[in-house]
């Protein structure tokens, strides 16, 4: 699994959100969210930014697979 895919999955789980909830927020299907988390597809930058904001992490944390709460989001 790619660092991005792992970061997306870990951040979603840490935020306590389901794939369905994330899908509604970013305007995609839960299957697309699953595909992002499995590394089948890479979300475009605007969706990555929306996901990072939703999860309260930095874009850098998502991309590097090390999601943690950013100081600004706390």
- The pTM is what? 0.84
Start-to-end Cα distance in the chain? 28
CATH of domain 3-63: 1.10.260.40
Contacts of 32 (CB under 8 A, 6+ apart): 23, 41
**68 pLDDT tier (thresholds 50, 70, 90):** low
Is the Cβ–Cβ distance between 47 and 19 less than 8 Å? no
Q: Domain locations in the chain? A: 3-63
The CA distance from 72 to 74, in Å, is 6
pLDDT digits (tens, 9 = 90+) for 3-60: 999 999 999 999 999 999 999 999 999 999 999 999 999 999 999 999 999 999 999 9
Phi-psi region of 2 (alpha: psi -120 to 50; beta: other; left: phi over 0): beta
């Amino acid at each position: 699994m790619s660092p991005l895919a792992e970061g997306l999955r870990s951040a979603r789980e840490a935020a306590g959100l389901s794939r369905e909830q994330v899908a509604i927020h970013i305007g995609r299907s839960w299957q697309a969210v699953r595909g992002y988390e499995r590394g089948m597809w890479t979300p475009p930058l605007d969706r990555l930014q929306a996901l990072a904001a939703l999860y309260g992490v930095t874009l850098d944390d998502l991309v590097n697979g090390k999601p943690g709460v950013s100081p600004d989001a706390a």
